[in-house]
Structure 1
Protein backbone atom coordinates (compact mmCIF):
# COMPACT_ATOMS: atom_id res chain seq x y z
CA UNK A 1 0.00 0.00 0.00
CA UNK A 2 2.85 2.39 0.80
CA UNK A 3 4.45 1.63 -2.57
CA UNK A 4 1.17 2.40 -4.37
CA UNK A 5 0.83 5.68 -2.49
CA UNK A 6 4.40 6.67 -3.38
CA UNK A 7 3.74 5.90 -7.06
CA UNK A 8 0.53 7.95 -6.93
CA UNK A 9 2.18 10.91 -5.19
CA UNK A 10 5.07 10.97 -7.63
CA UNK A 11 2.96 11.02 -10.77
CA UNK A 12 3.55 14.11 -12.86
CA UNK A 13 0.01 15.46 -12.53
CA UNK A 14 -0.01 15.30 -8.73
CA UNK A 15 3.32 17.10 -8.44
CA UNK A 16 2.23 19.71 -11.00
CA UNK A 17 -1.01 20.25 -9.07
CA UNK A 18 0.89 20.68 -5.80
CA UNK A 19 3.22 23.25 -7.37
CA UNK A 20 0.21 25.05 -8.86
CA UNK A 21 -1.56 25.23 -5.50
CA UNK A 22 1.53 26.60 -3.75
CA UNK A 23 2.15 29.22 -6.45
CA UNK A 24 -1.56 30.06 -6.47
CA UNK A 25 -1.54 30.69 -2.72
CA UNK A 26 1.48 32.95 -3.02
CA UNK A 27 -0.10 34.76 -5.97
CA UNK A 28 -3.31 35.17 -3.95
CA UNK A 29 -1.37 36.83 -1.13
CA UNK A 30 0.26 39.22 -3.60
CA UNK A 31 -3.09 40.14 -5.13
CA UNK A 32 -4.64 40.59 -1.67
CA UNK A 33 -1.87 43.01 -0.78
CA UNK A 34 -2.21 44.79 -4.13
CA UNK A 35 -5.93 45.31 -3.61
CA UNK A 36 -5.81 46.09 0.11
CA UNK A 37 -2.68 48.23 0.17
CA UNK A 38 -2.67 49.94 -3.24
CA UNK A 39 -5.95 49.79 -5.17
CA UNK A 40 -8.49 50.27 -2.37
CA UNK A 41 -6.65 53.28 -0.85
CA UNK A 42 -6.57 54.90 -4.31
CA UNK A 43 -10.28 54.24 -4.74
CA UNK A 44 -10.86 55.55 -1.21
CA UNK A 45 -8.90 58.73 -1.98
CA UNK A 46 -10.84 59.21 -5.22
CA UNK A 47 -14.13 58.90 -3.33
CA UNK A 48 -13.19 61.36 -0.60
CA UNK A 49 -11.17 59.24 1.81
CA UNK A 50 -13.70 56.45 2.28
CA UNK A 51 -12.43 53.16 3.71
CA UNK A 52 -14.39 50.31 2.16
CA UNK A 53 -13.16 47.76 4.70
CA UNK A 54 -15.27 49.44 7.41
CA UNK A 55 -18.53 49.52 5.44
CA UNK A 56 -21.13 47.42 7.21
CA UNK A 57 -24.80 47.28 8.07
CA UNK A 58 -25.64 46.29 11.65
CA UNK A 59 -28.15 43.44 11.81
CA UNK A 60 -28.72 43.93 15.51
CA UNK A 61 -29.76 47.04 17.43
CA UNK A 62 -27.05 46.28 19.97
CA UNK A 63 -24.33 47.18 17.43
CA UNK A 64 -23.22 50.79 18.00
CA UNK A 65 -19.58 50.60 16.90
CA UNK A 66 -18.22 52.69 14.04
CA UNK A 67 -15.61 50.23 12.78
CA UNK A 68 -16.12 46.68 11.56
CA UNK A 69 -13.89 44.90 14.09
CA UNK A 70 -15.74 46.38 17.08
CA UNK A 71 -19.12 45.93 15.40
CA UNK A 72 -18.47 42.21 14.91
CA UNK A 73 -17.73 41.90 18.62
CA UNK A 74 -21.07 43.54 19.48
CA UNK A 75 -23.25 41.43 17.19
CA UNK A 76 -24.13 40.37 13.69
CA UNK A 77 -23.18 42.72 10.87
CA UNK A 78 -23.42 42.64 7.09
CA UNK A 79 -19.84 43.53 6.05
CA UNK A 80 -20.42 44.58 2.45
CA UNK A 81 -17.16 46.57 2.35
CA UNK A 82 -15.14 43.39 2.88
CA UNK A 83 -17.22 41.69 0.22
CA UNK A 84 -16.51 44.55 -2.19
CA UNK A 85 -12.77 44.25 -1.54
CA UNK A 86 -12.82 40.47 -2.07
CA UNK A 87 -14.84 40.91 -5.27
CA UNK A 88 -12.21 43.31 -6.61
CA UNK A 89 -9.57 40.75 -5.56
CA UNK A 90 -11.34 38.06 -7.57
CA UNK A 91 -11.71 40.24 -10.65
CA UNK A 92 -8.00 41.08 -10.60
CA UNK A 93 -6.97 37.43 -10.15
CA UNK A 94 -9.32 36.31 -12.92
CA UNK A 95 -8.05 39.01 -15.27
CA UNK A 96 -4.39 38.20 -14.61
CA UNK A 97 -5.05 34.48 -15.13
CA UNK A 98 -6.82 35.34 -18.37
CA UNK A 99 -3.75 37.28 -19.53
CA UNK A 100 -1.40 34.43 -18.58
CA UNK A 101 -3.51 31.79 -20.35
CA UNK A 102 -3.88 34.06 -23.39
CA UNK A 103 -0.09 34.50 -23.56
CA UNK A 104 0.45 30.74 -23.23
CA UNK A 105 -2.06 30.04 -26.01
CA UNK A 106 -0.35 32.59 -28.25
CA UNK A 107 3.02 30.92 -27.67
CA UNK A 108 1.50 27.51 -28.30
CA UNK A 109 -0.01 28.70 -31.61
CA UNK A 110 3.38 30.09 -32.68
CA UNK A 111 5.01 26.75 -31.97
CA UNK A 112 2.32 24.88 -33.92
CA UNK A 113 2.69 27.11 -36.99
CA UNK A 114 6.45 26.62 -37.26
CA UNK A 115 7.26 24.26 -40.13
CA UNK A 116 8.63 20.98 -38.96
CA UNK A 117 12.22 20.30 -39.91
CA UNK A 118 12.68 17.21 -42.04
CA UNK A 119 14.19 14.38 -40.05
CA UNK A 120 17.93 13.94 -40.44
CA UNK A 121 18.84 10.81 -42.36
CA UNK A 122 20.50 8.03 -40.44
CA UNK A 123 24.18 7.24 -40.87
CA UNK A 124 23.31 4.25 -43.07
CA UNK A 125 21.21 6.37 -45.40
CA UNK A 126 23.99 8.96 -45.67
CA UNK A 127 26.53 6.23 -46.49
CA UNK A 128 24.26 4.64 -49.09
CA UNK A 129 23.65 8.04 -50.68
CA UNK A 130 27.39 8.66 -50.95
CA UNK A 131 27.92 5.21 -52.52
CA UNK A 132 25.11 5.87 -55.02
CA UNK A 133 26.61 9.25 -55.97
CA UNK A 134 30.07 7.66 -56.43
CA UNK A 135 28.63 4.93 -58.64
CA UNK A 136 26.92 7.53 -60.87
CA UNK A 137 30.30 9.13 -61.64
Structure 2
Protein backbone atom coordinates (compact mmCIF):
# COMPACT_ATOMS: atom_id res chain seq x y z
CA UNK A 1 0.00 0.00 0.00
CA UNK A 2 2.95 2.35 0.64
CA UNK A 3 4.10 2.42 -2.97
CA UNK A 4 0.57 3.13 -4.26
CA UNK A 5 0.23 5.98 -1.75
CA UNK A 6 3.57 7.46 -2.87
CA UNK A 7 2.53 7.18 -6.53
CA UNK A 8 -0.80 8.86 -5.77
CA UNK A 9 0.95 11.73 -3.99
CA UNK A 10 3.37 12.10 -6.89
CA UNK A 11 0.62 11.99 -9.52
CA UNK A 12 -1.55 14.64 -7.88
CA UNK A 13 1.23 17.09 -7.17
CA UNK A 14 0.68 20.42 -8.86
CA UNK A 15 3.81 20.14 -11.00
CA UNK A 16 2.72 16.87 -12.62
CA UNK A 17 -0.76 18.20 -13.35
CA UNK A 18 0.71 21.46 -14.70
CA UNK A 19 3.05 19.49 -16.94
CA UNK A 20 0.21 17.35 -18.28
CA UNK A 21 -1.91 20.42 -19.00
CA UNK A 22 1.10 22.10 -20.64
CA UNK A 23 1.72 19.11 -22.92
CA UNK A 24 -1.94 18.95 -23.97
CA UNK A 25 -2.20 22.69 -24.57
CA UNK A 26 1.18 22.64 -26.33
CA UNK A 27 -0.01 19.93 -28.71
CA UNK A 28 -3.14 21.88 -29.56
CA UNK A 29 -1.16 25.11 -29.85
CA UNK A 30 1.31 23.37 -32.16
CA UNK A 31 -1.53 22.44 -34.50
CA UNK A 32 -2.76 26.04 -34.51
CA UNK A 33 0.70 27.42 -35.25
CA UNK A 34 1.26 24.79 -37.94
CA UNK A 35 -2.03 25.80 -39.55
CA UNK A 36 -1.10 29.49 -39.37
CA UNK A 37 2.20 28.74 -41.10
CA UNK A 38 0.94 26.33 -43.76
CA UNK A 39 -2.50 27.85 -44.44
CA UNK A 40 -1.96 31.58 -43.96
CA UNK A 41 1.70 32.56 -44.16
CA UNK A 42 3.26 30.18 -46.68
CA UNK A 43 0.66 30.93 -49.38
CA UNK A 44 1.35 34.67 -49.03
CA UNK A 45 5.12 34.13 -49.00
CA UNK A 46 4.77 31.79 -51.98
CA UNK A 47 2.77 34.41 -53.85
CA UNK A 48 5.38 37.09 -53.16
CA UNK A 49 8.56 35.05 -53.70
CA UNK A 50 7.31 32.28 -55.93
CA UNK A 51 6.69 28.69 -54.98
CA UNK A 52 8.47 27.66 -51.77
CA UNK A 53 8.13 23.92 -52.22
CA UNK A 54 11.57 22.51 -52.82
CA UNK A 55 10.51 18.92 -52.14
CA UNK A 56 11.20 17.81 -55.73
CA UNK A 57 14.83 18.91 -55.63
CA UNK A 58 17.03 15.83 -55.49
CA UNK A 59 20.13 14.16 -56.87
CA UNK A 60 19.86 10.64 -58.25
CA UNK A 61 22.55 8.40 -56.69
CA UNK A 62 21.85 5.19 -58.56
CA UNK A 63 20.78 3.81 -61.92
CA UNK A 64 17.27 4.71 -63.02
CA UNK A 65 15.33 1.76 -64.45
CA UNK A 66 13.95 2.32 -67.94
CA UNK A 67 10.46 3.77 -67.97
CA UNK A 68 10.72 5.33 -64.48
CA UNK A 69 9.59 8.94 -64.26
CA UNK A 70 12.17 11.35 -62.91
CA UNK A 71 10.10 12.47 -59.95
CA UNK A 72 11.08 11.93 -56.34
CA UNK A 73 8.07 9.74 -55.59
CA UNK A 74 8.57 7.56 -58.66
CA UNK A 75 12.28 7.12 -57.97
CA UNK A 76 11.65 6.19 -54.33
CA UNK A 77 8.97 3.68 -55.35
CA UNK A 78 11.43 2.16 -57.83
CA UNK A 79 14.00 1.82 -55.04
CA UNK A 80 16.49 4.19 -56.63
CA UNK A 81 18.72 5.90 -54.04
CA UNK A 82 18.27 9.67 -54.13
CA UNK A 83 19.77 12.53 -52.16
CA UNK A 84 16.53 14.43 -51.45
CA UNK A 85 17.88 17.75 -50.21
CA UNK A 86 14.83 19.72 -51.34
CA UNK A 87 12.55 18.35 -48.63
CA UNK A 88 15.12 19.39 -46.02
CA UNK A 89 15.15 22.92 -47.43
CA UNK A 90 11.33 23.08 -47.28
CA UNK A 91 11.28 21.84 -43.68
CA UNK A 92 14.05 24.28 -42.71
CA UNK A 93 12.20 27.25 -44.25
CA UNK A 94 8.98 26.17 -42.50
CA UNK A 95 10.90 25.91 -39.21
CA UNK A 96 12.35 29.41 -39.57
CA UNK A 97 8.92 30.86 -40.28
CA UNK A 98 7.38 28.89 -37.40
CA UNK A 99 10.15 29.94 -34.98
CA UNK A 100 9.67 33.59 -35.95
CA UNK A 101 5.90 33.38 -35.40
CA UNK A 102 6.36 31.76 -31.99
CA UNK A 103 8.95 34.40 -31.08
CA UNK A 104 6.53 37.19 -32.01
CA UNK A 105 3.70 35.55 -30.05
CA UNK A 106 5.84 35.07 -26.92
CA UNK A 107 7.12 38.63 -27.23
CA UNK A 108 3.54 39.93 -27.39
CA UNK A 109 2.41 37.76 -24.45
CA UNK A 110 5.36 38.95 -22.35
CA UNK A 111 4.53 42.55 -23.21
CA UNK A 112 0.92 42.06 -22.11
CA UNK A 113 1.76 40.38 -18.83
CA UNK A 114 4.44 42.75 -17.61
CA UNK A 115 4.03 43.19 -13.91
CA UNK A 116 3.21 46.47 -12.24
CA UNK A 117 6.21 48.19 -10.73
CA UNK A 118 7.13 46.83 -7.33
CA UNK A 119 6.00 48.77 -4.28
CA UNK A 120 8.74 50.80 -2.64
CA UNK A 121 10.43 48.96 0.20
CA UNK A 122 9.19 49.61 3.72
CA UNK A 123 11.23 52.16 5.64
CA UNK A 124 13.97 50.73 7.76
CA UNK A 125 13.26 50.22 11.46
CA UNK A 126 14.65 53.03 13.62
CA UNK A 127 17.75 52.26 15.64
CA UNK A 128 17.27 50.99 19.19
CA UNK A 129 18.50 54.21 20.80
CA UNK A 130 15.84 56.23 18.95
CA UNK A 131 13.16 53.77 20.06
CA UNK A 132 14.30 54.08 23.68
CA UNK A 133 14.37 57.87 23.50
CA UNK A 134 10.82 57.87 22.10
CA UNK A 135 9.68 55.63 24.94
CA UNK A 136 11.22 58.00 27.48
CA UNK A 137 9.62 61.00 25.75
CA UNK A 138 6.22 59.30 25.64
CA UNK A 139 6.46 58.27 29.33
CA UNK A 140 7.22 61.89 30.35
CA UNK A 141 4.14 63.16 28.51
CA UNK A 142 1.85 61.12 30.74
Band the TM-score falls in, shorter-chain normalisation: 0.5 to 0.7
CA distance in structure 2 between the aligned counterparts of 1:99 and 1:80, rounded to whole angstroms: 29
User: Paired residue for 1:88?
Assistant: 93
* 1:13 and 2:13 aligned: no
Unaligned runs of 5+ in 2: 121-142
Correspondent of 2:74 among 70, 74, 89: 70
1:112 deviates by: 3.0
Q: Larger % of helix: which?
A: 1
Aligned residues: 110
1:59 deviates by: 1.2
Correspondent of 1:55 among 46, 54, 57: 57
Greater radius of gyration (CA):
2
Length-normalised TM-score, structure 2: 0.58
Deviations 1:20-46 (A, max 9, x none): 12321342244234566x15743445x
Unaligned runs of 5+ in 1: 117-137
CA distance in structure 2 between the aligned counterparts of 1:80 and 1:41, rounded to whole angstroms: 19
Change (3 A) 1:86 1:51: closer
Equivalence map 1:102-117=2 (5 Å): 102-109=107-114, 111-113=115-117
Length-normalised TM-score, structure 1: 0.60
1:13 deviates by: 2.7
